[in-house]
């Protein structure tokens, strides 16, 4: 039995010369025990290094016994084992199930080397559970496509080589092995959604339709193909409408509603945002994109704000506020700016640059100028207020008051990234500067 599964296991894996080593997520349960045995054989035959990682969540009174069991299995298979202990926070609003999953993948990512493969023991019945949970959430194609067999992960690849194998087949194979496995008592608790599906709903579905897991897998594969297709369409539309991290509104008017929503989701995903509901996408279009010209609209999108400026949509961190600090800086120093605004550096270059300050001109970085102050950028005729100059340079309203302004005493000399003020440039013996912005959603 294990040999038949091994053949299918090998067929699902990429070419072995593409791997620098294997890491198996090993819980000690039935599924991951079979996976570890298969991986050990594959590693021996291909001459690949293999390690296993067990995450001790501390949720079960038997957790230490599970570690001992895993150590014993790995010792018999001659596979090095890493045990990671994590601490979960009860009562913080997140389910322990979700916390445990996130902690597990964080540890796995930390141990996966560049070019290595991470193998997990997800199987065909897990796919069916994933589909039913996605239907419960009202997920779109991406959710209905379920788990993919191969995807990039933490500098390597995450592979699920058992997705086409049923839990029953794995159980038959495990019964022929001498290692045994652990049973997590939490798997019997129907208050967890997956356990409810596994214990109560899926057995009824399979009793009525024995091939339910296989047919569901076919539907999920079709969803994955269609998701890939609309992803290609969204990328083509992005090439026409995207501009840096912003999205130009004008090209969106020529798209159908469904195609426009597809592009909006693609844009939000690129920025690392969570997928909004259809209703929220409708509000984004009506209340932000189509707001009157003199409005400054904003819409909360689950941790990010959608803003509009000069015909473009932006996603920014919520609650951005102007900064009021006065931060002393010396030549040759690197100043860390507040609120994730990055780093500002100033150093002697010897060439053209900012003139050296006089003794009565202490240097400081600020984010505002005094009320009523007029600035004259080098090369311009006449002075203007800072607000007007920022508008000319296309600086969105939420970034004003968040741009470093180098002051000589009480005089503004440099607005970082935009212009130098008249009277502060020197043709030689000058100072160079750099504003290294943090990679945050409020950068344009």
**Alpha-carbon Rg for the chain in angstroms:** 29
Paired sense of beta strands 326-328 and 363-366, if any: antiparallel
CA–CA gap between residue 217 and residue 160 (Å, rounded) = 14
Q: Give 93's contacts (C-beta < 8 A, 6+ positions apart).
A: none
Distant-in-sequence, close-in-space partners of 221: CB < 8 Å, separation ≥ 6: 145
Q: Do residues 262 and 240 lie in contact, with contact meaning Cβ atoms separated by under 8 Å?
A: no
29 is annotated as contributing to ligand binding: yes
Residue 327 to residue 376: CA distance in whole angstroms: 23
Kindly state the tokens that stand for 15.
Answer: 């070419």
What is the distance in angstroms between the CA of the first residue and the CA of the last residue of the chain? 57
Alpha-carbon gap, residue 300 to 147, rounded angstroms = 29
User: Is 27 marked within a binding site?
Assistant: yes
Query: Which strands form 343-348's sheet, in the order they lie side by side?
Result: 333-336, 343-348, 431-436, 353-354, 425-426
From CA 103, how far away is CA 99, in angstroms rounded?
6
The tokens describing 103, both together, are 């902690």
* Chain position carrying tokens 């006065």: 326
444 annotated as ligand-binding: no
Q: Are 127 and 213 in contact (CB under 8 A)?
A: yes
Residue 333, classed as helix, strand or coil, is: strand
Nearest to 181 by CA among 121, 130, 129, 125: 121
Give the chain's count of helices (H) and strands (E): 13, 23
Is residue 31 part of an annotated ligand binding site? yes
> Tokens representing 127?
């796919």
Binding positions:
27-32
Binding positions for ATP:
27-32
């Amino acid at each position: 039995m294990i040999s038949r599964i091994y053949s299918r296991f090998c067929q699902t894996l990429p070419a072995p010369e593409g791997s620098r080593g294997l890491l198996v997520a090993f819980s000690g349960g039935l599924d991951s025990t079979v996976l570890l045995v298969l991986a050990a054989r594959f590693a021996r035959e291909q001459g690949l290094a293999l390690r296993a990682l067990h995450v001790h969540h501390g949720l079960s009174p038997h957790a230490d016994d599970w570690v001992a069991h895993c150590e014993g299995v790995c010792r018999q298979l001659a596979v090095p084992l890493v045990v990671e202990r994590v601490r979960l926070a009860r009562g913080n609003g997140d389910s322990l199930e979700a916390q445990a999953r996130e902690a597990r993948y964080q540890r796995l990512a930390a141990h996966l080397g560049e070019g290595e493969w991470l193998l997990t023991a997800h199987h065909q019945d897990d796919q069916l559970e994933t589909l039913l949970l996605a239907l419960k959430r009202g997920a779109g194609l991406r959710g209905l496509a379920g788990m993919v067999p191969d995807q990039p992960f933490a500098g390597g690849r995450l592979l699920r080589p058992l997705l086409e194998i049923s839990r029953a087949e794995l159980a038959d194979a495990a019964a022929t092995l001498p290692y045994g496995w652990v049973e997590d008592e939490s798997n019997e608790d129907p208050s967890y959604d997956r356990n409810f599906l596994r214990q109560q709903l899926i057995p009824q579905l399979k009793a009525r339709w024995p091939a339910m897991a296989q047919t569901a897998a076919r539907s999920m594969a079709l969803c994955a193909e269609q998701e890939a297709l609309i992803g290609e369409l969204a990328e083509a539309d992005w090439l026409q409408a995207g501009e840096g991290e912003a999205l130009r509104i004008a090209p969106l008017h020529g798209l159908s509603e469904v195609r426009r929503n597809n592009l909006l989701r693609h844009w939000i995903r690129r920025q690392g945002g969570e997928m909004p509901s259809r209703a929220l996408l409708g509000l984004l279009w009506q209340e932000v994109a189509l707001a009157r010209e003199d409005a400054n609209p904003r819409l909360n999108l689950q941790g990010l704000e959608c803003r509009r400026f000069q015909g473009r949509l932006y996603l920014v961190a919520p609650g951005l506020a102007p900064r009021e600090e006065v931060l002393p800086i010396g030549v040759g120093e690197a100043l860390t700016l507040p609120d994730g605004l990055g780093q500002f550096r100033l150093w002697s270059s010897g060439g053209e640059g900012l003139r050296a300050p006089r003794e009565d001109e202490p240097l400081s970085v600020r984010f505002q100028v005094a009320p009523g102050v007029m600035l004259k950028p080098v090369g311009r005729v006449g002075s203007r207020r800072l607000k007007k100059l920022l508008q000319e340079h296309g600086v969105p309203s939420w970034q004003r008051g968040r741009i470093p302004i180098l002051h000589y005493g009480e005089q503004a000399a440099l607005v970082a990234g935009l212009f130098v003020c008249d009277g502060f440039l020197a043709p030689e013996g000058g100072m160079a500067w750099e504003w290294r912005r943090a990679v945050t959603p409020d950068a344009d």
